[in-house]
Structure formats: structure tokens, C-alpha cells
Chain A
Amino acid sequence: MDRAQDFITIALSIIVEATPFLVLGTILATLATEFNFFAKLAPRLPKNTLLRRLSISCMGVALPVCECGNVPLARSLVRKGFSIKEATTFLLAAPIVNPLTIITTKEAFRNVPWMMPARVIGGLIVALTVGELVGRSKKQVLNPDFEKTCRHTHATKKSEKTIKRFCLDFSEEFWPMLRLLIIGALIASFIQLGINQTLIGDMVGGVLSGVLIMLVLGVVISICSSVDAFFALSYYGLVKNGALLTFLIAGPMLDIKSISMLKTTYTTRSIIIMMSGIAVISVIIGVVMSYVG
């Protein structure tokens, strides 16, 4: 009975914590669509592909929502004509270039000064590379239901810019993500209670095992990027700093609740490509920094 209550408490905590951010992200995305914000932004971005995508990634600095709130914004980018590469890069980078994430990472790792810049740079590398990988895929990338909504989106007529339109667009965007957030929260809670984290110390052998364990932990522990640095701190000294970096980069991109919400936008195949790309690149970064850092 206690175990069931603990399961409910942890699942509800994820839902209670994430849902307001999802509301905020959906409001911003809906407003951006209603006022054609992204269409007005597009011509002001650099023409060079790499600089353009870096600029879009750095929009996360101005949008302090957690990874849940970024999903509706990324969807809005796609609807407004941004490429899949650009939207995916934004989606993956935004939780890490979030100012709160930067501050808390710096705060938690005061005695590892390179950790914060490494997290930002490493996160951007992963986001740019995986965005490129997903965008180049020749097969269906976007969820067919979502793709239909992209084809039917058009510039909002002035006469249609009403509270009614805003409410309807908001709820159409919000409902599928809420449902998947709940499913993700239930799965994350189940796995969290199933894993005995106190045994992790016994499992760490060399550099690679430490990095892989922290990668798996990042997937399983669905903590927001704005505070995951404090969680990672508890493994300081147990694993190399490079392994902690892997957790900090891959965690916000790969956690279960984020993956479940991606189903609203991408096909399963694309999600698998994204997960594989994020995992491989963040492990490489983690191993390199374990020796260099």
C-alpha cells in the first residue's frame, strides 16, 4: 500500500510540476502563431544555415520554460515554415541554454568551473548534430496527425484574431501533450521506484561504465533541466566529471516524460534516431571530458 502511495506521489509531483510549464509553453506558442511571430522573425535570422540554427537554439535564453514547455514552441516553429532541422535543434537546445539551467549548473558545480560552459557547448553540439540527422532522414519524420495540422495552418485573418480562436487553438495543442505527459510521468515514477539508486556505486567500474550509468540515470530520472545539476552533484566523486556532464547534457533531452511528449510531433522511427544520436554523442563527450577535465 505504501509503495502504491509513493508511486502516486512521485507521478503526481511530475504532473503538478510540469503541467504549468506546459500551459505557459502552449500559451506562448499559440500567441506566436496568432501574431505570426515566427514568420516575422524568419527574415531577421542569419542566412548561413549553421548560424541560423544556432540563433534559433539560443531563443531558449529568452524563453525560460522547461523542456515540457518547449515542445509546443517547437511545433509552432514547424507549422510556421521552419525546417525540421531547425525546430529539432531548438527543441533539444532550449532546455540547456535556459538561463535558470545555466545558473543552477554553475551554482551546483562551483568547484568544477568548466562544467557549466561544457554543458552549454556540449548541448549545442548534440542539438545541432541530431537536428541535422533527423532533418536528413528520407522517411516520414513528423507524426502524420501533426503533419496534417501543419498543412492546414495559414496566416490568421485579422477578423479571426479573437479570444475564441486563441482558446480553441490552445486546447487543440494542449490536450495531446497533457495526455502523453501523464503517461510519461507514470512510467518515470514506476521506473524510479524500481531502481535502487544506492547500488549504483557498486556498478561503476571504469570511465565508460560510469558514463553509461549516468546516461541511463538521465533517461530514468525525469528531473527538469533547471535543477538536475543538484541531483547530479550526489554522484560527484563516485563517477568522473565527464559522466556527470553526460547526465547533464542527455538528461533533459532523453528523459521519459520528454520522449513521451515527442510522440505528438515525431514518428517513432525519428524518435529512435534522435535518442540514438543524443546517446552516442553525449557518451563521446562524457568519455573525452572524463580524461581531459
Chain B
Amino acid sequence: MWDRVPVRMQRLVASLLLAAIAYTGFKGDLLYYIHPRYDLFTIILSLIGSFILLLSAFFYKYKGEPTELPYSYFELPFIFGAWLLSKGVWLVLIVFTLLAFLPAKPLLSDVAGRKRSQDYWSSYKDLRYISWARDPKSINQVVGLANRKDTQDLVLDKNFELSGFIKRTPENSHDILLLSRFVISCCAVDASPISLAVYLPGWEQKYKEDDWIDVSGALEQGKKLGVDGALLRAQNSNIIPQPEDPYEYLMFE
């Protein structure tokens, strides 16, 4: 009987991991990891897979001849533990524990500083006629329109209220910060930072890097202040709690 236990453990921990993925979906935390369009698919397949693995653990029967235990009862836990380690059960258990019990946290400025910014809209034909062009709401949308000559007029000299996390400029400016978000097209591994320069003199007295803030102001060309691209001249700003949807998710039309 003891021969069956390790294999059943493999099936059980794999079932647990899939159940944890489904549970993450029910909690609404999948958006920390993957694009929402995969949510339903992820939850359903995880539940199906978990159920199949649970059944297989129940069905499994060792086909060999029953043998005597080759180790003493004292040695057995260590041998068993080493066996489980070699078969990867511990690895799967660790991943399950992290997924089920570690609070999910979004990527922030440290990763943003190491990843290349995306400009998803630079080669998009007819951006002017996309559904959100007249009423952009996110950093990705505003920056996308501002960066193109044929759509700049839709956003320059207009007021916007945007939220994101603070990232320092490469020059460590005390007057300008980068209001940033990560944009995801599939999962956090492809998350790319998108930033909008915000003119907020003395921002370091009120905020620090990685704080989430809400900023409203008028968008203008950044050249006057030595910034490439658009700049939001802040009129109001507030610190806010980390939003429930910390990423922006790429949707193409």
C-alpha cells in the first residue's frame, strides 16, 4: 500500500494547485497575473483538471507485487521526504502555497525601470476612429493619442484625471514624476510600463516612489520643460489606495 502513496500524493498536490488557480479566479485576483479575457477559460479548465486529478488519485492502484518496507520506521520519513523532493511534489506544493496564501501584489517601479515601454498605438491605422479616441480614460490611451501627430489634437490642451503609481524620471527630477501603469496583453510576463510625465513641483514632500496617486490637470507638450512627449500639468493630486485593477489590459478593435 505504501507504494501507492507517493503517486497518489503527486495527483493530489497537482489537483490542489489547479484548485488554487480556480480559487484565485473566484477571489478576483487573476487580474494580477493574466489578462481578464482568459479568466473564464482559466477557472473552468482548472476546475476540470483538478477534478480529473482528484479522481485519478482515488483510482490509482499500484500494479507491482507488495513488498516489505526496505527501511526502518525511523528512516522512512526522511527517505519518503527525499523521494517526494526528487519527484517534484515539494515544488508543486510550494507553488500552491504561494498562490493560495501569499497576497498578490502588482509589479511596480523596480520592474518598470528594467522593462522597455511599449507604444502599442504607433502603428495602428486610423487610431482617430477607435471607440475611445474621443474620450480616453487611461494612461495608455492618452499617451497613445498624444504620441501621434494625427491624433494629438484630441488630447492636447484638454483636462484629464488619471491614476497610476509613481516612478522617478531617469534624471531624478524633483518637479516631474512619471505616472505609470503596466499594460498587459497576455500575462504579467509581458507587462510593459507606460508612463506619462506629470509636472508636480516638490512632489517628493507629499509622495514617494511606488505610491498610487490620482492626478488631474491639463495635457500639454512637454518640450517647454525638457520632456519628450506629452506632459500633464497637475492641478490636483491625491494619494489613493492600490486599485483593485492595477494593470491596464490591452484590447484591440
* Contact present for A167 and B187 (CB under 8 Å): no
Q: Which residue of A lies closest to B46 (CB)?
A: A20
* Contact present for A234 and B188 (CB under 8 Å): no
* Contact present for B125 and A110 (CB under 8 Å): yes
Q: How far is the CA of A262 from the CA of B152 in the complex (A)?
A: 48
* Contact present for B114 and A17 (CB under 8 Å): no
Contact with A along B88-119 (1 / 0, CB 8 A): 10011001001100101111101101111111
User: Is the contact region of chain B dominated by helix, strand, or loop, or is it mixed?
Assistant: helix
Stretch in contact with the other chain, from B50-58, B154-162, B232-240:
B50-58
Q: How far is the CA of A81 from the CA of B89 in the complex (A)?
A: 32
* Contact present for A221 and B190 (CB under 8 Å): yes
Residues in A lying within 8 Å of B, measured CB to CB: 2-3, 5-6, 8-10, 12-17, 19-21, 23-24, 26-27, 104, 107-112, 163-164, 166-168, 170-171, 174-175, 178-179, 182-183, 188-189, 192-193, 195-198, 200-201, 221-224, 226-228, 230-231, 233-236
* Contact present for A196 and B114 (CB under 8 Å): yes
Stretch in contact with the other chain, from B32-40, B72-80, B198-206:
B32-40
Q: How far is the CA of A75 from the CA of B18 in the complex (A)?
A: 22
* Contact present for B104 and A16 (CB under 8 Å): no
Whether, in the assembled complex, B173 has its beta carbon less than 8 Å from a beta carbon of chain A, the answer is no
Contacts of B122 in A (CB 8 A): 236
- In the complex where A9-B33, A16-B187 touch, is A233 in contact with B116 (Cβ < 8 A)? no
- In the complex where A174-B14, A183-B91 touch, is A8 in contact with B41 (Cβ < 8 A)? no
* Contact present for B56 and A170 (CB under 8 Å): yes
Distance between B171 CB and nearest chain A CB, rounded to angstroms: 14
- In the complex where A233-B120, A234-B192 touch, is A6 in contact with B110 (Cβ < 8 A)? yes
Contacts of B41 in A (CB 8 A): 20
Q: List residues 125-165 of chain B with CB under 8 A from any CB of chain A.
A: 125
* Contact present for B95 and A233 (CB under 8 Å): no
Contacts of B117 in A (CB 8 A): 234
Q: How far is the CA of A108 from the CA of B185 in the complex (A)?
A: 11
Q: Which residue of B lies closest to A226 (CB)?
A: B186
* Contact present for A223 and B190 (CB under 8 Å): yes
Contacts of B52 in A (CB 8 A): 27, 166-167, 170-171
Question: Which one, B42, B110, B116, contacts A235 given CB within 8 A?
Answer: B116
Question: Which one, B17, B24, B33, B111, contacts A6 given CB within 8 A?
Answer: B111
* Contact present for A20 and B14 (CB under 8 Å): no
Q: Which residue of B lies closest to A237 (CB)?
A: B122
A selection of 27 A-B contacts at a CB cut-off of 8 Å is A2-B110, A6-B110, A10-B107, A13-B187, A14-B189, A17-B42, A19-B17, A20-B42, A20-B46, A23-B45, A24-B45, A27-B49, A110-B125, A111-B125, A164-B55, A167-B55, A167-B56, A168-B60, A171-B53, A192-B189, A193-B114, A198-B115, A223-B186, A227-B190, A230-B120, A230-B190, A233-B123
* Contact present for A16 and B91 (CB under 8 Å): no
* Contact present for A179 and B92 (CB under 8 Å): yes
Contacts of B56 in A (CB 8 A): 167-168, 170-171
Q: List residues 169-192 of chain B with CB under 8 A from any CB of chain A.
A: 185-190, 192
Whether, in the assembled complex, B83 has its beta carbon less than 8 Å from a beta carbon of chain A, the answer is no
Contacts of B32 in A (CB 8 A): 9, 13
Whether, in the assembled complex, B2 has its beta carbon less than 8 Å from a beta carbon of chain A, the answer is no
Whether, in the assembled complex, B59 has its beta carbon less than 8 Å from a beta carbon of chain A, the answer is yes
